[in-house]
Chain A
Amino acid sequence: MANPRSPGTESSAPLRVSGGVFTLSILHLESNNPQQLAQRIAEEHQRHPAAADFHRHAPVVLDLSAIPEEAPLALSAILEVLRAANWFPVGLRNAAPGHQALAQDLHLPILRGQDRNAAPQPETPPPTQPVPASPGGLIIDHPIRGGQRSYARGGDLVCLAAVNAGAEIMADGNIHVYGPLRGRALAGVNGQDTARIFCVSLEAELVSVAGLYRTLEPGYPLWGKAAQIYSRDEQLHITALNL
């Protein structure tokens, strides 16, 4: 047959289109200058090398609230900058009508927030929605070795074995480690500051919640103890878990 069809597929059957809800990163564009954006990303990634990893191949929505309506916008240059930094721009929001037309030329969808106010809005980060544990959740039942990395995108990460020195585990949600935690653990990497890390033996090289981080050394009071790590008032807290 010249045009093979999988069995059971009727040519008259409708296309399957269904709804889905996704968690996406939003980048708030500060200016219309692509070079400045490139420099800002480079600085950020230098300051937080881990951030470069979180953003690698992450879909991102550009928020244009801060770009005045009359400002010229080299949108394709900006997209180039993002792609060069390994981000995947997937849409625009809060774009002025002129800028929306540019996006359409580039086949870039306009997402929620199309009715932008005439004046640029003050910076209002969207409330982070709680990340459902199951869809992006990841359960790992073997040790995570030095040099290995696991990322639970959009959910919680549960590790039932050791996370060894030099390993890195990341989750958009919470992290649970039921073996010794000796590597680096980063929860809430998409900015969810209610995420927490729970571990039965805290021996980590680094812990981080929503970008706040600290390094640890043997001799730390809770070293080798069951602990939880969370963020409150822009501060990272580490407390004993009394199991």
Chain B
Amino acid sequence: MAKIIVITSGKGGVGKTTTSAAFASGLALRGYRTVVIDFDVGLRNLDLIMGCERRVVYDLINVIQGEAKLQQALIKDKRCENLYVLPTSQTRDKDALTTAGVTAVMDELRKEFDYIVCDSPAGIESGALMALYHADEAIVVTNPEVSSVRDSDRILGILAARSRRAEQGEEPVKEHLLLTRYSPKRVEDGEMLSLEDVKELLRTPLLGVIPESEVILQASNQGIPAIHMENSDVAEAYKDVVARFLGEERPLRFIQPVKVGFFKRLFGG
């Protein structure tokens, strides 16, 4: 039976789409049939990050409105055998997402895939609610700052109250905390909340920590999910996240400031 995972946050720009692309790719690399869906109607970022924007013909909204079949809208990823992208529309209105339409799409996808990853828009309005409604598990993406933590807390409350599982009195949505854009140096300097602070405030099981890295920018400019950026901290961190999600034990990495060597300090990096 397919599992539906929503990548959500409340606050915007914290790394949901980056995480959706990397995480879905990671599941596919592990051999799971995976689809990643863009719920951010009107913005359409996921296909850019996945590097498939030029192959978008039909999208989620077309499927919901009966203008295309699901098979026509699914785009096969060029790097991973088992991965498909379901893009969203840049031209349609958010209201084009209907509860019944999304439910029908989910029911169809459940038959074909092992994992359905939903990239949520920011906020707590209908688009975000649609994205989380069907979730079995949620990855709450949080940056180490107070406003992001507050919004994550809010979205955790909404998951507990307004998801399908909550409404139907089933077992609650399984929650995971993912701390992204973590800069151990800035934490040490007291400019950011520490991992401990965030854990203490949110009290949600930690799935991983993704360091702040310029590799993310390079990856997104080239349309390559960050998990494919060989030998980078972020790729390693995202691989750990996927492993932990699949139940493997992995120690936390990249949470200590990098010690700058004496010569590097002397002559500059």
Contact = CB atoms under 8 A, between A and B. Distances in A.
A143 interface: yes
B171 to A, nearest CB: 13
A54 B161 CA distance: 21
Interface in B142-183: 150, 153-154, 156-158, 160-161
A144 B161 CA distance: 11
A147 B202 CA distance: 14
A216 B258 CA distance: 39
A161 interface: yes
B203 A166 contact: no
Interface residues of B, number: 12
B201 interface: yes
Contacts of A164: 153, 201-202
Interface residues of A, number: 14
B113 to A, nearest CB: 30
Nearest to A148: B157
B160 A146 contact: no
A165 B150 contact: yes
Contacts of A40: none
B175 to A, nearest CB: 10
A162 B203 CA distance: 8
A165 B153 CA distance: 9
B203 A146 contact: no
A54 to B, nearest CB: 20
A167 B150 CA distance: 11
Nearest to A165: B150
Interface hub of A143, A147, A167, A179 (most chain B Cβ within 10 A): A147
A142 B171 CA distance: 14
Contacts of A147: 124, 153-154, 157-158
Interface in A123-160: 142-148
Given A161-B203, A162-B203, A164-B201, A142 B160 contact: yes
Contacts of A165: 150, 153
A162 B201 CA distance: 9
21 contacts: A142-B160, A144-B157, A145-B153, A145-B157, A145-B160, A146-B153, A146-B154, A146-B157, A147-B124, A147-B153, A147-B158, A148-B157, A161-B203, A162-B203, A164-B201, A165-B150, A165-B153, A166-B150, A166-B153, A167-B157, A179-B203
The 4 closest A-B pairs by CB, nearest first: A145-B157, A148-B157, A146-B153, A146-B154
Given A145-B157, A148-B157, 9 more contacts: A145-B160, A146-B150, A146-B154, A147-B124, A147-B153, A147-B157, A161-B203, A164-B153, A164-B202
